[in-house]
Structure 1
Amino acid sequence: MSLSSLVTDPLFIMAIGIIVVVGGIIGLKLHPFLALLLGALVVAIMTPAAVIERDALAKGATAAAARQLAGRSIGERIAHEFGNTCGKLGILIAMAAIIGKCMLESGAAEKIVRSLLKLTGIDKAPIAFLAGSFFIGIPVFFDTVLFLMIPLAKAMTMRIGKNYLLFVLAIMAGASMANSLVPPAPGPLFLVSEMHIPIGMMMVGGFLLGLVTISAGYLFARYANRKMPIPLRDSLDARLEDIKSASLKEDTQLPPLWLSLLPVVLPLVFICTKTALTSFPSFHAPDNPSFLHGQLIQLLEFFGDKYIALAAGGLAALLLLARQKKTSKEGMTAFVQTALMSGGAIILITAAGGTFGGMLQQSGISTRIADLTKHYQMALIPLAFLIATVVRTAQGSATVAVITSAGILSGMATHGHLAYHPLYLGLAIGCGSKLVPWMNDAGFWLVCKLSNLTEREALKTIAPMQTVMGIAGLITILIAARLLPLL
């Protein structure tokens, strides 16, 4: 291969792009937003116009549209991809941020956890923490789940006098898997839009796979708790006497369970109902439809739209917060502003990731990978897992790993004529993004500081558990794709 061929090879361009992103984050300590944009710029500069035009034609674009895309300036192509991703995901992530903030401030999230504890009892409290963190981790950001539940784990440990590490690992397992598998978490939302996976299908598939992976994580957590029990420790930011006082808060100060569940359940029900309608054409379009039937279908389709469904969940969360806090209009504005500030950073990182992925797609990477794997398509699933694992281990962020991997493989999901549904590729990316958390991962340090685990203790427990869950998910996906391709 000549030097000119090597420089324009999509695999070489992809390698350089990943080096720029990972090197920027780790070596130069750049914010992921800047590193991803820089990577997109480098990839765009290295990709010849002829390759862009050829790739657009291969994806079904007209000759005129392909020439127009290739003729755009680098800045225009980057801005176009950035805007496309913002348009797809900005509203969804903002609504998810509002739902999470309101559930915390209103006490709804704590009510859900306490209700789970009442359901399972003290002896099965770790299972309640596992299920609670997984369920709450669907609409709430990962770090927020930790802030909410680790203090409860300390309070529970103080009450029963044991199993502190088990509680912490159970919380970590549930929250981390929900964050990478089930919308409206940012990573899965990006997979839904980038790989053209129906959001309802991603919800159901991610939820079912999540149950398998967190079960594997829970078994490891019990093993680790037996082998190296860790005591509850005092600290300046979480004094043991303060924990005890907080655990005595009355249930009457919290909202009812049905109201607490509403911001999460409402969008899930709306979206899944629309998915069910799409899956059963006879109900959607019967032979003799009545006026009432038609109006009902239109109403369900309206609220089943992912943007409307998440907005309905956000409205329910705001009403719940207003009921609990009895705040003024200015107070509600402050809560929403805080939520949008946290969600805004996620939107920027996600949009920059979409830009990086879009530039990689224009380099022809999908066609190149298709040529390498055309004789054995099942190899794409472990390949997706491996790419996500490498990116996560190198730069630390599971969300960035999901975004980067989806950008590389989305062309295969939409134009590769797979022998199975693209859902399986998306789930493989989600599972691969769990490996391997260590010092370059903000979540790793967050768990250490909140739980008072030492770095050595965290490396011996969190990283192996995440690895076990990711591999269990990969094995499950491979079996399901073979036995149930969903085509």
Structure 2
Amino acid sequence: MVWDLPAFVGLTLAAFSVGLINSVFVQDFSLADAATRTAAEFGAGMEGIGIPILMAAIIGKSMLESGSAQRIVRGFQSLVGSDNSEFALWGSSTVLSIPVFFDSVLFLLAPLARSMRARQGKNYALYLMAVGAGGTAAHVFIPPTPGPLAVADEIGVTLGVTILVGVVVAIPSAAVAGLAYGHWINARMQIPLRDSMGTTTEELEERAQRSTDSLPGVFESALPIVIAIAFVSSLTVVDTLEEIYPVFTTVKPYVSFVGNSNIALTVAALVAALTYLRWSDLSRSLWEDELTEALRSGGNIAAITAMGGAFGALLAASGVGSYISGVLSGLGINLLLTAWLIAAIVRVAQGSATAAMLTTAGIMAPQTGQLAVHPAYLVMAIGSGGIICSWYNDSGFWLMNEIGGLTQTETLKTWTVMTTILSVTGIVTVLAFSTVVPLT
């Protein structure tokens, strides 16, 4: 930060530094591992998000340049009113993040938030918080997203009850963090539009002034998002139905292919790119150049995100999570608060919400019998702690920073504070509902 290094270089140095410390204090962690483990974790991160981010860059560029994002924005505004656009983004993000990973939803909805800002000329912080809070709440509270699903399985809670309690906790938490805090910070911090995802601010603002007749239709505009969501969520649907109707087992291999986020976003990118070609005056060669420019932008985002994950993984390898968990688990305070506190400190120490949730679940599972309320509340307490204070060692921080076109200071004041408010509101909601409706 002092040297103003590019984020990727800074994160790489941070990961190597943690690796060097690990080589001194961590058993079976050699000096060579400081380099090789960093590279391996970076590669593992790219394996998970490389293709989706690059294809999302094409989707974002194509939807913005073709006018598709503007057309969807105007459709939202006609339904809820131009002064309530944040509700459309908030609701869409919450619902879509249940069957689809949050990062994919952010890739898809960030262009809409940018287009709304270009059309309205204000409220960018509010729109980003609406998207971020809705999707993050679903990510940590509502199965079948991986974190709460794995924690519920570890603790032994039925899926139906976990989903029900998750919805009850997610909605007020996301409303406070996304809408209430979004309005508060938006009144105090006007974030300008900047070049991002291969699209300049001037291009974005020019498209915001186009007449509706010059834009693609609503169906064609929304088709890339619909395809991505339908493909990815199809695997969740088949996984659920095959337990009831064994006939779905025969189609699962095919659905597993199209439902993979790499395939889903690739198909969606092709559809978005063809719409861009149809609704622009570009030649094929210039169209190709524009898509290549989007890939350059996406490559930088993918590299930063993957290295942020590697930094977190090297911190996790230090054993700091297990150490903190061991110290706190014996304090003797309320079990729900203990679970939240353990998950929160592990999350801040090593970055990954899912890793913090799973670490805490393993510690708290043997103590479930001591609960005076339904164990589904324990799942929610762990999820609340696992999302707190997203900062430099969390890949989600860098996604919001890069896709939103924010400075690091702006990301800390918006995204980091929002995730902290979401966490605190979540545990307060859990404690309140578990007291009034213990479900025992």
Query: Is this a same-fold pair by TM over 0.5?
Result: yes
How far has the Cα of 1:110 moved from its partner? 0.9
CA distance in 2, matches of 1:345, 1:205: 38
Structure 1 position 37 matched with structure 2 position 12: yes
- SS of the equivalent of 2:216 reads coil
Q: CA RMSD in A?
A: 5.2
Is the 2:67–2:216 Cα contact (8 Å) retained in structure 1? yes
How far has the Cα of 1:153 moved from its partner? 1.6
Among 413, 425, 435, the residue aligned to 1:472: 425
Could you say if the C-alpha distance between residues 128 and 204 of structure 1 is closer, same or farther in structure 2, counting changes exceeding 3 Å? same
CA distance in 2, matches of 1:151, 1:224: 19
Is the 1:103–1:109 Cα contact (8 Å) retained in structure 2? yes
- SS of the equivalent of 2:276 reads helix
Structure 1 residue ranges without an equivalent (≥5): 1-25, 54-68, 155-163, 184-190, 392-402, 436-440, 450-454
CA distance in 2, matches of 1:238, 1:326: 20
Counterpart position of 1:334? 289
Is the 2:387–2:420 Cα contact (8 Å) retained in structure 1? no
Provide, for residues 224-257 of structure 1, a one-character-per-residue CA deviation record: whole Å limited to 9, x for no partner: 99xx7999x9xxx999xx98x9765321211111
Structure 1 position 409 matched with structure 2 position 366: no
Among 206, 215, 221, the residue aligned to 2:175: 215
Among 214, 224, 227, the residue aligned to 1:253: 214
The aligned length equals 384
CA distance in 1, matches of 2:275, 2:381: 36
How far has the Cα of 1:417 moved from its partner? 6.5
Structure 1 vs Structure 2: percent identity of aligned residues? Answer: 23
Is the 2:354–2:386 Cα contact (8 Å) retained in structure 1? no
CA distance in 1, matches of 2:322, 2:426: 27
CA distance in 2, matches of 1:478, 1:196: 22
Provide, for residues 29-72 of structure 1, a one-character-per-residue CA deviation record: whole Å limited to 9, x for no partner: 3333223222222222222488444xxxxxxxxxxxxxxx7695
How far has the Cα of 1:474 moved from its partner? 4.6
CA distance in 2, matches of 1:466, 1:73: 32
Counterpart position of 1:149? 116
For residue 432 of structure 1, what is the amino acid of its counterpart? Answer: C
Is the 1:358–1:407 Cα contact (8 Å) retained in structure 2? no
Could you say if the C-alpha distance between residues 480 and 307 of structure 1 is closer, same or farther in structure 2, counting changes exceeding 3 Å? farther
**After the TM superposition, which residues 352-391 of structure 1 pair with which residues of structure 2 at under 5 Å, given as runs?**
352-375=307-330, 378=336, 379-385=338-344
Max Rg structure: 1
For residue 409 of structure 1, what is the amino acid of its counterpart? Answer: A
How far has the Cα of 1:382 moved from its partner? 4.0
- SS of the equivalent of 2:251 reads helix
For residue 171 of structure 1, what is the amino acid of its counterpart? Answer: Y
Scaled by the length of structure 2, what TM-score is found? 0.66
**After the TM superposition, which residues 275-314 of structure 1 pair with which residues of structure 2 at under 5 Å, given as runs?**
275-283=236-244, 285=246, 289=247, 295-314=250-269
Counterpart position of 2:142? none
Provide, for residues 424-481 of structure 1, a one-character-per-residue CA deviation record: whole Å limited to 9, x for no partner: 756644453399xxxxx9969x8999xxxxx9xx98x999877655533453466789
Structure 1 position 120 matched with structure 2 position 80: yes
Scaled by the length of structure 1, what TM-score is found? 0.61
Could you say if the C-alpha distance between residues 415 and 429 of structure 1 is closer, same or farther in structure 2, counting changes exceeding 3 Å? closer
Structure 1 position 174 matched with structure 2 position 130: yes
For residue 60 of structure 2, what is the amino acid of its counterpart? Answer: G
CA distance in 2, matches of 1:427, 1:99: 32
CA distance in 2, matches of 1:448, 1:361: 27
Could you say if the C-alpha distance between residues 342 and 259 of structure 1 is closer, same or farther in structure 2, counting changes exceeding 3 Å? same
Is the 2:127–2:182 Cα contact (8 Å) retained in structure 1? no
Is the 2:227–2:264 Cα contact (8 Å) retained in structure 1? yes
How far has the Cα of 1:347 moved from its partner? 1.6
CA distance in 2, matches of 1:317, 1:75: 39
Structure 1 position 317 matched with structure 2 position 244: no
Is the 1:110–1:148 Cα contact (8 Å) retained in structure 2? yes
After superposing the two structures, state which structure 1 stretch, 131-140 or 104-113, moved more. 131-140
CA distance in 1, matches of 2:266, 2:432: 36
Counterpart position of 1:27? 2
Is the 1:262–1:316 Cα contact (8 Å) retained in structure 2? yes
How far has the Cα of 1:222 moved from its partner? 6.3
After superposing the two structures, state which structure 1 stretch, 312-321 or 205-214, moved more. 205-214
Is the 1:382–1:474 Cα contact (8 Å) retained in structure 2? no
How far has the Cα of 1:337 moved from its partner? 1.7
Provide, for residues 389-445 of structure 1, a one-character-per-residue CA deviation record: whole Å limited to 9, x for no partner: x78xxxxxxxxxxx734497376168656466988756644453399xxxxx9969x
How far has the Cα of 1:327 moved from its partner? 3.8
Is the 1:360–1:407 Cα contact (8 Å) retained in structure 2? no
Structure 2 residue ranges without an equivalent (≥5): 97-102, 140-144, 153-159, 193-199, 369-375, 393-397
CA distance in 2, matches of 1:448, 1:87: 25
For residue 109 of structure 1, what is the amino acid of its counterpart? Answer: A
Could you say if the C-alpha distance between residues 443 and 101 of structure 1 is closer, same or farther in structure 2, counting changes exceeding 3 Å? same
Is the 2:71–2:221 Cα contact (8 Å) retained in structure 1? yes
How far has the Cα of 1:361 moved from its partner? 2.6
CA distance in 2, matches of 1:36, 1:171: 28
CA distance in 2, matches of 1:352, 1:89: 11
How far has the Cα of 1:274 moved from its partner? 0.9
CA distance in 2, matches of 1:430, 1:269: 27
Could you say if the C-alpha distance between residues 219 and 88 of structure 1 is closer, same or farther in structure 2, counting changes exceeding 3 Å? closer
CA distance in 2, matches of 1:370, 1:466: 21
How far has the Cα of 1:370 moved from its partner? 2.9
Provide, for residues 67-92 of structure 1, a one-character-per-residue CA deviation record: whole Å limited to 9, x for no partner: xx769543222222222222222112
Could you say if the C-alpha distance between residues 168 and 297 of structure 1 is closer, same or farther in structure 2, counting changes exceeding 3 Å? closer
For residue 215 of structure 2, what is the amino acid of its counterpart? Answer: L
Is the 2:232–2:264 Cα contact (8 Å) retained in structure 1? yes
- SS of the equivalent of 2:105 reads coil
Could you say if the C-alpha distance between residues 246 and 412 of structure 1 is closer, same or farther in structure 2, counting changes exceeding 3 Å? closer
For residue 283 of structure 2, what is the amino acid of its counterpart? Answer: S
Is the 2:46–2:302 Cα contact (8 Å) retained in structure 1? yes
Provide, for residues 156-201 of structure 1, a one-character-per-residue CA deviation record: whole Å limited to 9, x for no partner: xxxxxxxx6xx45532421343575678xxxxxxx969x9799xx9
Is the 2:15–2:310 Cα contact (8 Å) retained in structure 1? yes
After superposing the two structures, state which structure 1 stretch, 306-315 or 464-473, moved more. 464-473
For residue 298 of structure 1, what is the amino acid of its counterpart? Answer: P
CA distance in 1, matches of 2:388, 2:165: 12
CA distance in 2, matches of 1:93, 1:443: 14
For residue 102 of structure 1, what is the amino acid of its counterpart? Answer: S
Could you say if the C-alpha distance between residues 480 and 79 of structure 1 is closer, same or farther in structure 2, counting changes exceeding 3 Å? farther
